[in-house]
A and B are shown apart, each in its own frame.
Chain A
Amino acid sequence: MLQALGLTIPTPILMAGTAYGVRDDLEVGVRGDATASAYGVAHVEPGVAWHPIPTVTLAGSLHLLSDFQAFRAAPLVTGVHAWRLGHHLVYAGADVAVAFGNPTRVVAGPLAGTELRLGRWGLALELKWLAPYHDVEPLAPTWISPAHHGYLSAIVGVSRYVGEVR
């Protein structure tokens, strides 16, 4: 959390990554978490995405975190359906992660987003509701927890496409 202008806000997490299309329907990629690094935690997320049909994505990735004192791993599976609006996309789906630890937790939730395509650039906005079945009271900041359940996550993404783009 950060405190600014008298407000307590969640720490923006800056991630950078790259993905490569090995086939028309399959891409592999990896992301790194710059914000976690600033807090002394290495966080990388290798993953793979498969498109059984062009508008559906099934993705799997593995979150790996360590500060060289402790280690955590969390596999993540995501399913998304997309719709074209001209050059742009809207999509909706859900993901589920298993955060191993004591206790091991399942973190699942719905997501929806859009990507505005501007040439080779894409600007994405995604909203996700993590673990909406979890009652966060009394210890979580409730304004990111609708009806005191789960945690809202907002993602702002900028993509730069290179090579052949469809």
Chain B
Amino acid sequence: MSRVLLLILLAGCQSLDGFLYDPLEADGHDLSTAVIPSHEDLTIRTPDGETLHAVFVPSSGRRPEVTLIYLHGQSHHIGKSWPRIEYLYPLGYNIVALDPRGYGKSTGTPTEKGLQIDLAATRAFLLDRPDVDAKHLVYYGRSFGGALAIELAAQAAPAALITESTFTSVAAMVKDGAYVDLPRSFVANDRWDSIGKIRDIAAPYLVLHGTADPYVQFKYAGELVAAHRGPHQLVAVSGADHGNLPEVMGQVEYRRSIASFVDAF
């Protein structure tokens, strides 16, 4: 007897790239002026033809020489991140919120190579502005945006680097997320090897992470700090999960942690 089989199996296979980026698009943003009275929309052209949207929030006055580049995570855009920008606004820095390619109103599709281009283009664009001082740039990345902030720090050293609730590498996420030992290349094309990059970054590094983060495990924060060779500080927020770190800390304490670190350099 011989037989021919055709099987359709429904099982737990994953392709991680799309879920890593999960870009949230938007035709426009309705940005509240309740906390931040004014902002400037920026249009940034990349060398490979994409058009990025960013928002420049001018300093509220305390430290106008500092410009903080805020890089949001997956499933976000500037509009959805606006409450976080409002939390940061009282720090008195200029704040630039970027929608990389594919997010918000920015064109294109996110890939590791493309996002690297976006970061370089954004930094170059900002340095052409008279109100942005290259010596006082701070990169702040939350969740997946942490990988972007570390990438940008690897491209060009900031005055300070801040990541919140970020991971060490795609390979680590795959390893920790799968029961069997799946090679990263089986499920994701992109690497985002933050742990490899952080070893060569000397800029002061502040790591914020919730100890109860069920999505991006807290252990990554310790691994990033251990690998970093410059001055660094780990703020472990007891009980915070992946999405509520400032709320668990309290806004005042959240800002105090950032300000005390940034202002020291």
B61 at the interface (CB under 8 A from A): no
The answer on a CB contact under 8 Å between A131 and B185 is: no
Interface residue tally for chain B (C-beta within 8 Å): 29
B5 nearest CB neighbor, chain A only: A17
Partner of A72, one of B7, B19, B181: B181
Q: Of the listed stretches B10-18, B77-85, B254-262, name the one at the interface; the rest are far from the partner chain.
A: B10-18
* CA–CA, A131 and B11, complex, Å: 13
Residues on A with C-beta less than 8 A from B179 are 105, 107, 131, 134, 136, 151
Shortest Cβ distance from A105 into B: residue: B180
Candidates A102, A151, A163; contact of B1 at CB < 8 Å: A163
Q: Roughly how many angstroms separate A75 CA and B241 CA in the complex, as a whole number?
A: 39
- Chain A residues 103 to 118 lying within 8 A of chain B, measured CB to CB, are 103-105, 107
Residues of B within 8 A of A104 (CB): 181
Complex: how many Å from CA A44 to CA B186? 14
Tally of chain A residues near chain B (CB < 8 A): 63
**Chain B, Cβ-Cβ closest to A97:** B180
B17 to chain A, nearest CB (A): 10
* B6 contacts A by Cβ under 8 Å: yes
Interface of chain B: mostly helix, strand, loop or mixed = mixed
Distance in Å from the Cβ of B76 to the closest Cβ of chain A?
A: 17
**Least distance between A155 CB and chain B CB atoms (Å):** 5
Q: Does A140 contact B (CB under 8 A)?
A: yes
Say yes or no for A6: interface residue by CB 8 A criterion: no
Does more than half of chain A's interface fall in helix, strand or loop, or is it mixed?
Answer: strand
Given contact pairs A39-B13, A72-B183, A154-B9, enumerate 15 new A-B contacts (beta carbons under 8 Å).
A21-B2, A39-B187, A40-B185, A67-B183, A70-B185, A124-B7, A130-B11, A130-B12, A139-B176, A155-B9, A157-B5, A160-B3, A161-B1, A161-B2, A163-B2
> Knowing A41-B186, A159-B5 touch, does A153 contact B180 (C-beta < 8 A)?
no
Task: State the Cβ distance, A5 to closest chain B Cβ, in Å.
Answer: 16
> Chain B contacts of A31 at CB under 8 A?
5, 7
Contact of B11 among A13, A136, A162 (CB under 8 A): A13
Q: Is A20 in the interface zone, CB < 8 Å from B?
A: yes
Bound Cα distance from A12 to B9, whole angstroms: 6
Q: Do A160 and B4 touch across chains, with their CB atoms under 8 A apart?
A: yes
Task: Tell me whether A13 and B8 are in contact (CB under 8 A).
Answer: yes
Given contacts A1-B15, A13-B11, A69-B183, contact A18 B5 (CB under 8 A): yes
